[in-house]
Amino acid sequence: MPEKLSDEQIISLYNDRDEQAIQATADKYGNFCMSLAYDILASRPDAEECVNDTYLRAWNSIPPAKPQSLQAFLAAITRRLSLDRYRETRAAKRNRELEVSFEELSDSISIPDDRADELPELLNGFLRSLDYPERRLFLRRYWFSVPVETLAKEEGTTKNAITVRIYKTRNKLRTYLKERGYTV
Amino acid sequence: MRGDLVYEKLGEIDPELVAEALPDAVPLVTVESLFAAPEKKRPRPKRIFVVCACLILAALMLVGGGVVMSRSGLLAGIFPNTEPGTEEETDDPNAPYQGTVTITLFKEGETIVLEGNSFLEGLGTELKNLLNQVAMGEGKPDPDPYERYEYRLDIGGDEIWLDPHVGMFVRDRQAELCWELDAETAWAITTIIKRLKTGETDTLPEDAAPVCEFIYEKATRHRGDVFEVELRMNDSGDYKGSFELVRIYLYFEESQGVYVIREYDISMMCTYVFFIPDNAPLHDYKIIAEFESDNYGDVTVKSDEVVLTVAENAVLPTYTFDYDKESVATHVNYGDLLRYTVSMTHEGDDIYRFGYNTVVFPTATLRSESGETYLMSSIDVTEDGEQVRHLGNGTVKTTVELTVEDTMPMGKYDLILAFEGHEQVHEDIFEVTGSKVLHRGASYGLTMEDEGSQFLFRAVDGSGYEIPFEWNIGCFVAYIPDNAPAGVYQLIRIDGNNDSQVKGDFMITDSTPQYRLSSSMKQQTAKPGDQIKFYTYAYNMGQPLRVFLPYDSFTASAMLVSEDGSYTLDAIGAPDAREPINYTYATGDVNFQDYTFFLPADIPAGTYDLVLTCRGQTKTIENVLTVVSP
């Protein structure tokens, strides 16, 4: 099996409009994107479609986009597309794991919907205030939608320990927002 | 804030924070997990993987490692006892493997030797081709992204890593990446090793506890009710490997066959919900769960007793559906967001419903004239009263929405509201006109992630008239000038040398906006250094303009001009604060602006006019200020 290309090489293929870029992306990050999409959608066909759309979006975006981290760039696209797809299909099939995540976050963030645009900057500040392990855990759970069970394996600990850690972080978030005038 | 909205906004955080939370390329896991049951549901039966594993492994042996050994030394680890001189024999693809497989695992200094070969015998057909495919990376099976195995296996000094994100790869003793296998091969080899470890077992242990336990409240329900059962797996250690639930259903058997009530589409983790259809026979039902397992093949677990009795309804359930007609536009365009509040009213016997919002709301589907259907997303669920287990009769409401994509055909659409076989069609509730109408003076915004792209409106009449979009902090915004030729335009995206149309056609009308400009400034006399205060208004007297706020705003300006035009002074003002909203229809008062400034010391004495400007249109209020020498 040929060795996988580096991110720089793959981006170079995109810049050269060489369609090998998509294959190289699929080879290197296909599983990762599928995993991310599947954790949100819990449906293989839907996840596959989102991942394919991710490649197309990457193809249309690079150039001019110059991602610092190709993996993070792809993750952002996959996540967004998957959430869009999830909303489209939500009435028909729900991903209970994801719905639980929604509820957890909803309980922690009391900002009105019409002020949602303020949230990314607040989250940036909050996340930077956390220690790296907690920040990473929070993002793995809510940005990457990784199930608690998987996180427990990643961290080499129990599900309960993960749940408690994330719960504490959510409490910190609630306090953080409260201190900034967002009443719980 | 809604959880899904939080999720969406979380996607907009600093990418650097995301990058540092990416999954590790190679998670460290101990060898014990090799024998842990995979915990993630896999979409395909595991027995397929087992066969595949046998094929691959036997294939590796048949060719004597000729190809693979040269790549990684993998065979040297897995097949140290392979007899030399077998390469010629491997040319015969039907030759069964006759040797012994030895795999050595190293675990904290302990050496475990596994041997076995019987299960490989007789599997010679097509092995070489398969090996070649694997070795050359051709025709490999699709990686299975749902696997969550994370194993590290030390074989003769080389390490095999199995990772959910990158599949499986082999490292040599210097920990350099030698060769990579796809995830399915990794799974196959893992399975082989597990079977070597556990031995061949095809039957369930006789004295073992049941594979699973059903947790339920025995109940009598009506048609239209739901019934829930929790499935609790036996984790006592009686079994080796994992079990994957394939199907769970309520059933009864009669001479003419088996009647089944399927699991409802949406399961709550380990709780399975069954919707009792209107035509379900009145009967006693038991429950059954079917599994596939690593080591025991297909396994079926049945309840010993009746768990549910379906009783006759006094009144069969009926459902009526409605939607909020007030909110429905009759003509919509691509990109428009449709949002309705739909309701479902149930009548009949009091019904028993699982009190969670996954079950009790109707679906809303749009149907085009040509029959394509589009399921609307439910974004909110409300219920009369709290979500309760015993719903009784009543009305359930939910908000549904859908953005009209340009892939949807033009024409009229029906709205179909449905719930479990009951449906109501509301015909021709709107029409997709296929083009977005823009008046001169309007603005149109695109929220895009790719800042580097270029967009423009291009007239289709061949005149080459174009209206550019400008990038403005997260949005592309185009402003339709007052002199734009009326007609059909295409929204063009430019990527490199390629132009492509997006979002259908746009119609720019010949309606030219008329702004009425006025000022509170009264005729007055002042001298240099005096403070001047006034405000201005701009009214849109024409068609309501669809504008993209706050990226486009009706900024106005005011300027004092001397009688002979030789001296001008821009008034300094502040626009009124606007809420950061996106599209709005601007009509009536579109701009209010306060001006407060001091006349400069060098302003010439004389009479001044006030010139107001809004979007290229001007109004002059003559002789509004007389400046006298100090």
How does pLDDT run across A16-27, given as a tens digit for each residue? Answer: 888 788 888 888
pTM here is 0.35
What tokens appear for B592 in the block? 């209010």
Instruction: Classify residue B43 as left (phi > 0), alpha (psi -120 to 50) or beta.
Output: alpha
Q: Are A35 and B269 within 8 A, CB to CB? A: no
pLDDT for residue B16 is more than 70? yes
Of the CA atoms within 13 Å of residue B343, those in its CB half-sphere come to 11
What are the b/e assignments for A105-140, b being 16+ CB within 10 Å?
bbebbebeeeebeebbebbeebbeebeeebbbbbbb
Q: Output the pLDDT for position B307.
A: 93
Mean pLDDT value of segment A54-59: 84
Give the gap in angstroms from C-alpha A72 to the nearest C-alpha of chain B.
Answer: 5
Share of chain A above pLDDT 90, in %: 0
- Greatest mean pLDDT among A157-161, B394-398, B461-465, B532-536 lies in B461-465
Residue B182: its chain A contacts at CB < 8 A?
Answer: 1
The model's confidence at residue B309, banded by pLDDT at 50, 70 and 90, is very high
The secondary element (H helix, E strand) that includes residue A163 is helix A159-179
Q: Output the pLDDT for position B263.
A: 73
User: Which residues lie across from B569 on neighbouring strands?
Assistant: B560
Of the CA atoms within 13 Å of residue B89, those in its CB half-sphere come to 17
Residue whose structure tokens are 């005149």: B463
Burial of B513 (0-12, 13-18, 19+ CB in 10 A): buried
Q: Output the pLDDT for position B188.
A: 52
Residue A4: its chain B contacts at CB < 8 A?
Answer: 180
Higher pLDDT, B503 or B215: B215
The model's confidence at residue B34, banded by pLDDT at 50, 70 and 90, is very low
pLDDT for residue A94 is more than 60? no
Range 472-491 of B in CB contact (< 8 A) with A:
none
* Weakest-pLDDT range from B205-219, B276-290, B526-540, B578-592: B578-592
> How far, in Å, CA of A145 to CA of A101, rounded?
8
Q: Establish if B578 touches chain A: CB-CB under 8 angstroms.
A: no
What tokens appear for A135 in the block? 């920040």
pLDDT for residue B163 is more than 70? no
Q: Output the pLDDT for position B64.
A: 29
Q: Output the pLDDT for position B203.
A: 62
What is residue B577's three-state secondary structure? coil
Higher pLDDT, B100 or B498: B498
What tokens appear for B65 in the block? 């490692």
- B99, B197 Cβ separation under 8 angstroms: no
pLDDT for residue B246 is more than 70? yes
Higher pLDDT, B169 or B28: B169
Of the CA atoms within 13 Å of residue B256, those in its CB half-sphere come to 2
- Greatest mean pLDDT among A67-76, A82-91, B354-363 lies in A67-76
pLDDT for residue B375 is more than 90? no
The model's confidence at residue A3, banded by pLDDT at 50, 70 and 90, is low
> How far, in Å, CA of B553 to CA of B578, rounded?
9
Higher pLDDT, B482 or B200: B482
Residue A111: its chain B contacts at CB < 8 A?
Answer: 1
Q: Establish if B378 touches chain A: CB-CB under 8 angstroms.
A: yes
- B147, B182 Cβ separation under 8 angstroms: no
pLDDT tens track for B194-221? 554 454 445 666 677 788 889 888 988 8
> How far, in Å, CA of B482 to CA of B507, rounded?
14
Torsion of CA B615, B620, B621, B625, to 10 degrees: 100
The CA angle B290-A49-B363, to the nearest 5 degrees, is: 70
Q: Are A143 and B18 within 8 A, CB to CB? A: yes
User: Which residues lie across from B377 on neighbouring strands?
Assistant: B401
pLDDT tens track for B409-433? 888 999 999 887 788 999 988 888 7
> How far, in Å, CA of B127 to CA of B394, rounded?
64
Interface test with B, best of A87, A131, A137, A155 (most B CBs within 10 A): A87
The model's confidence at residue B466, banded by pLDDT at 50, 70 and 90, is very high
- B266, A94 Cβ separation under 8 angstroms: yes
The model's confidence at residue B497, banded by pLDDT at 50, 70 and 90, is confident
Give the gap in angstroms from C-alpha B116 to the nearest C-alpha of chain A.
Answer: 29
Inter-chain Cβ pairs, chain A and chain B, closer than 8 A: 195
Burial of B24 (0-12, 13-18, 19+ CB in 10 A): exposed
Q: Establish if B451 touches chain A: CB-CB under 8 angstroms.
A: yes
Residue A44: its chain B contacts at CB < 8 A?
Answer: 43, 146
State the helix-helix crossing angle for A44-61 and A20-41, rounded to 10 degrees.
140
> How far, in Å, CA of B170 to CA of B180, rounded?
6
pLDDT for residue A137 is more than 80? yes
Pairing assessment for the beta strands B422-432 and B411-419 based on DSSP bridges: antiparallel
Mean pLDDT value of segment B132-149: 34
**Closest to B307 measured CA to CA, from B212, B217, B221:** B217
* Weakest-pLDDT range from A84-93, A117-126, B8-17: A84-93
Q: Are A135 and B266 within 8 A, CB to CB? A: no
pLDDT for residue B111 is more than 70? no
Q: Output the pLDDT for position B344.
A: 82
The model's confidence at residue B458, banded by pLDDT at 50, 70 and 90, is very high
Q: Establish if B376 touches chain A: CB-CB under 8 angstroms.
A: yes
> How far, in Å, CA of B321 to CA of B397, rounded?
10
> How far, in Å, CA of B179 to CA of B160, rounded?
10
Query: What is the residue-averaged pLDDT of chain B?
Result: 65
Q: Are A64 and B453 within 8 A, CB to CB? A: yes
- B545, B439 Cβ separation under 8 angstroms: yes
- Going by C-beta distance under 8 Å and a sequence separation of 6 or more, which residues neighbour residue A57? A77, A81
Higher pLDDT, B265 or B135: B265
- Going by C-beta distance under 8 Å and a sequence separation of 6 or more, which residues neighbour residue B443? B477, B478, B479, B480, B545, B546, B547, B548, B551, B552
What is residue B15's three-state secondary structure? helix
The model's confidence at residue B30, banded by pLDDT at 50, 70 and 90, is very low
Range 94-153 of A in CB contact (< 8 A) with B:
94, 96-97, 99, 101-106, 109-113, 116-117, 119-120, 123-124, 127-128, 132, 135-136, 139-140, 142-144, 149-150, 153
pLDDT for residue A72 is more than 60? yes
Q: Output the pLDDT for position B21.
A: 76
pLDDT for residue B182 is more than 50? no
- A121, A177 Cβ separation under 8 angstroms: no
Q: Is the ipTM of this complex over 0.90?
A: no
The secondary element (H helix, E strand) that includes residue B397 is strand B394-403
Range 302-341 of B in CB contact (< 8 A) with A:
none
* Phi, psi dihedral angles at B5 (to 5 degrees): -70, -40
Give the gap in angstroms from C-alpha B185 to the nearest C-alpha of chain A.
Answer: 13
What tokens appear for B291 in the block? 């599994």
